[in-house]
Amino acid sequence: MAFGSTLRDLFRDYRFVVAFIVLLFLVTLAVMSFFSPYDPTLWYYAPRDLRPSNEHILGTDSRGQDIFWQATFAIRNSLIISLVAGVISRIIAVVVGLVAGYQGGRTDRVLMFISDGFLVIPLFLILVMLAMLIRDKMNIVNTGLLLAVFGWAWDARVLRAQVLSLREREFTKTAVLSGTPTLQLVFKEYMPYITPLAFSTLINNMSWAIGMEMTLSIIGLTNMDIPTLGTNLKWALNYQAILMRRWYWILTPVTLSVLLFIALYWMSVSISEYLDPRTRVQRVGGE
């Protein structure tokens, strides 16, 4: 019932509705990649530089590949990378935030020192250096894991702040005095507060991971044989798609990227506003 009520409240926000529809469309494209008649790693299985037609909906590129089917693989792989990065970094952020916030003291200082270290380092330069070192192993999963290692620090501080607030509430003191085990207290009492916040930061982190993957691809530090939004855009730029006015080639990854970024942003904003206590009070007329 609570989950259904939450969905009804979220679907009253036009931003969430639009974001949901766009994401559903993109996920549908990703699923279609499993039914592709072509191998995305093969070149010249079709004539080069064909204009859109019934046989090739978006035409073909200069490598003799169908642009539409390459786009379905690209959106699928980019979503997988973002999910791997987002989920793994959420696990790290939740663990660090819970332990630091609940334990406090020296444990808190050590974990926050590590977190602050990740926040102040020149992240992009470190990612470029590591990507250069493991360039031959930069497949979908490894790219997601690399981004996950550097994508948790800020969100861990946000979750820690929430735990610090929860630790000072009366139900925590009552549970501690009654002898409630720490793990039971954390999972039973704290997780209902932490989970929505972790989900909201997951969406932001997915958007960051997609943008970072595209950046690494454009400068040639990912596996160019694996179609992603970044590698598709890189190939289009390499073959001078803009100068040659092959708009259907260059605009396909650009349009899909813009749609994905807007959908993730609007969904994140909508969920964040829904979770904001002030807006929740307004919804029940408690101003």
Pick from 246, 55, 236, 39: nearest CA to 47: 55
Model pLDDT, residue 278: 52
Model pLDDT, residue 286: 46
Burial 119-153 (b: 16+ CB within 10 A, else e): eeeeeeeebeeebeeeeeebebebbbebbbebbbb
pLDDT per residue as tens digits for the range 87-144: 999 999 998 988 888 887 888 889 889 988 888 888 888 888 888 888 878 889 999 9
CA dihedral 51, 55, 58, 59 (to 10 degrees): -40
Residue ranges of domains in the chain: 2-35+59-283
Model pLDDT, residue 4: 60
| CATH architecture assigned to 2-35+59-283 | Orthogonal Bundle (1.10)
Model pLDDT, residue 5: 66
Residue linked to tokens 């989970």: 195
Pick from 3, 16, 34: nearest CA to 269: 16
Q: Which amino acid is at 123?
A: L
Per-residue pLDDT of the chain (287 residues; tens, 9 = 90+): 455 666 777 788 888 899 999 999 999 999 999 999 998 888 988 889 889 988 889 999 999 999 999 999 999 999 999 999 999 999 999 989 888 888 878 888 898 899 888 888 888 888 888 888 888 788 899 999 999 999 888 888 888 888 888 887 777 777 777 777 777 777 777 887 787 788 888 888 999 999 999 999 998 888 888 999 999 999 999 998 888 888 999 999 999 999 999 999 998 888 877 776 555 545 444 44
Rounded to whole angstroms, what are the CA distances from 164 to 37, 113, 172, 262, 271?
Answer: 54, 17, 11, 32, 22
Distance CA 112, CA 124 (A): 21
Model pLDDT, residue 3: 54
> How would DSSP label each residue in 138-188?
--HHHHHHHHHHTSSHHHHHHHHHHHHHHHTSHHHHHHHHTT--HHHHIII
Q: How much is the pTM?
A: 0.86
Model pLDDT, residue 76: 95
Model pLDDT, residue 1: 40
Distance CA 248, CA 52 (A): 8
Model pLDDT, residue 276: 63
Pick from 252, 223, 259: nearest CA to 56: 252
Model pLDDT, residue 72: 95
Residue linked to tokens 């598709």: 232
Distance CA 241, CA 254 (A): 12
Question: Phi and psi of 44, rounded to 5°?
Answer: 60, 35
H or E element in which residue 63 lies: none
Model pLDDT, residue 171: 78
